[in-house]
Structure 1
Amino acid sequence: MLVCYCLAISSLKNAEHQNNMDSKGPSLYAAGASVDMSRSIEEDSLVDGPLISADALHSAIRREFQTVPTPCHAGLLSLLHVVYVVLSVCVALLCVLEFGQVEVCGSILGNVRGDSVILFGKACLWVLVQLFTGCVQHHHSRARSRGYLRFYRQMQGLKQLPLTVHSTGNVLLLVVLAARLSLTVHTYMLLIILGLELLVALPCLLYYTVKVMKFNRERAAPDVSQEEHLHNFSIASLQTETGFREGSRLEELVEKQADLIEYLKQHNTLLSKRLLNLTAQH
């Protein structure tokens, strides 16, 4: 009897324990299901949230074309150069060689010699050319940072040419001064150097002005966008632009790739900022 009583008690406890587990099981399953449901709802809310439209994103990323304003500076420098040479010829003929009224030159120049006035003017003109070169370098560097790497490289030698010509003219003038020639020969040599300098520097400035005006008129997209457009039609053209082949200059290729990487870094930084702003607005 005692054994039967113990077996009955143990069976009752097992039944109660089984009933408790059955009563708690659905709630745990429900809780787990609710957690999964909430997670899926949160993930769906992130995916199904308001997305940025492609038009709004494209309009935010697209940057307006900025022209290079240096043609005005080049035209003004060319005009000043022509005026300087004309005035130098007048001073040399009228005041140095005394082909005109000496009293008029004395009243205008005072005690300063005519050739000294020409040299002072040449020094001032060289300073203006130096300022022009610095201004051109600044604006071309900005165009380079906007992605116009091909334009920057095409104009790299041309923008330095006027300064090189004027510096070479200064060296020739120093040689003439050091030679201690007669007054007549000295004056004619000075005028010849100024004339040759004008004949070389003026076409360079005019050619530079035409190239920059053509660039401003075309309003082309950055080089990266142009390469992407060409890539849609021909993959070979993109490989010739970025790949190294026999006969090409490795230094130029490395510099071009460095410029491209620098531009892409700046572009990605700007893109991230504008994406954050658009996300905050939406």
Structure 2
Amino acid sequence: MESKGPSLYAAGTSVDMSRSLDEDSMVDGPLISPDVLHSAIRREFQTVPTPCHAGLLSLLHVVFVVLSMCVGVMCVLKFGQEEVCTSILHNVPGDSVILFGKVCLWVLVLLFSGCVQHHHNRARSRGYLRFYRQTQGLKHLPLTVYSAGNVLLLVLLAAQLPLKWHTYMLLSILGLELLVALPCLLYYTVKVMQFNRERAAPDVSQEEHSHNFSVTNLSTETGFREGSSLEEVVEKQADLIEYLKQHNTLLSKRLLNLTAQH
């Protein structure tokens, strides 16, 4: 019984020595430069492709309003080419054609809003929380404007005005809608194009970089501050936690790949 003690002690000692040797070999191994890892992660920047969609939607809106003006003047008010209107529209009233086109345009805006929400959620999951919040209200403006235009058209239909005044009011609502929605789409396009051109690092990385120079100059606010909303702070912290989890997963994969390469 007494002879087993030294053997167990020797075995335990050998295990500890082998474990320490393994740990030493990991420490003494080739270290990965932080610049290499940062550049590898920096290449993961993905642009938000919604400016193309916003530009196409703006063009379609302008074309729709121009065609609606032509149909309203020539086919409803009958100031000219009545035969052409009859050959193109057949027996369909001109104001009905305008309303059908307005419904199709609203469906396109709804699809655009869903596409924008999808791409902004992806940018949010990649850590661009400030960009997400800066455009949170802006990306909903087009759908709000077009929906308000639909409400005005419903009110116009319920009013049952004479045909002449009905057409004038219909074209006025479409023109006013264009004047409000087009600047919103253009401003949104400019904001997203600036974001894509800057190709900035995620907010957490920017915060760490600015913290190296000044403790008080932070690019994101993760704690509670006087005058800030508690719901906003909780939402920011939840976004940061979600991003950091994905960031750690990506960081682990990059570490394994770079370690294998070295």
Is the TM value for this pair above 0.5?
yes
Q: Which amino acid aligns with 2:203?
A: D
Q: Deviations over 1:26-80 (max 9, x none)?
A: xx97996687467425422331243452255445544421111111111110000
- 1:40 partner letter: M
Please say if residues 85 and 195 of structure 1, whose CA atoms lie closer than 8 Å, have aligned partners that are also in contact.
yes
- Given that 2:127 and 2:240 are in contact with CA atoms closer than 8 Å, whether structure 1 keeps it comes out as yes
Structure 1 residues 197-276: aligned runs within 5 Å: 197-238=177-218, 241-276=221-256
Matched, 1:43 2:23: no
Alignment of 1:1-282 (within 5 A): 36=13, 39-49=16-26, 50-54=29-33, 57-238=37-218, 241-278=221-258
Asked if the contact 2:207/2:220 (under 8 Å) is kept, the reply is no
Q: What is the TM-score of this pair, normalised by structure 1?
A: 0.83
Contact 1:52 1:278 in 2 (8 A): no
Work out the CA distance in 1 between the residues paired with 2:37 and 2:84.
70
Structure showing greater Rg: 1
Q: Which moved more, 1:125-134 or 1:41-50?
A: 41-50
Do the aligned partners of residues 29 and 260 (structure 1) sit closer, same or farther apart at CA in structure 2, a change above 3 Å counting?
A: closer
Q: Flag the 1:96–1:133 CA change in 2: closer, same or farther, 3 A.
A: same
Give the letter aligned to residue 147 of structure 1: G
> Partner amino acid for 1:125?
L
Distance 2:67 2:8 in 1: 97
Aligned equivalents of 1:194 and 1:233: distance in 2? 53
Q: Percent identity?
A: 76
- 1:241: how far off? 1.8
Structure 2: unaligned runs, 5 residues or longer: none
**Could you tell me whether the CA contact under 8 Å between 2:210 and 2:219 is conserved in 1?**
no
Residues 150, 223 of structure 1: 8 Å contact kept: yes
Deviation at 1:252, TM superposition (A): 1.4
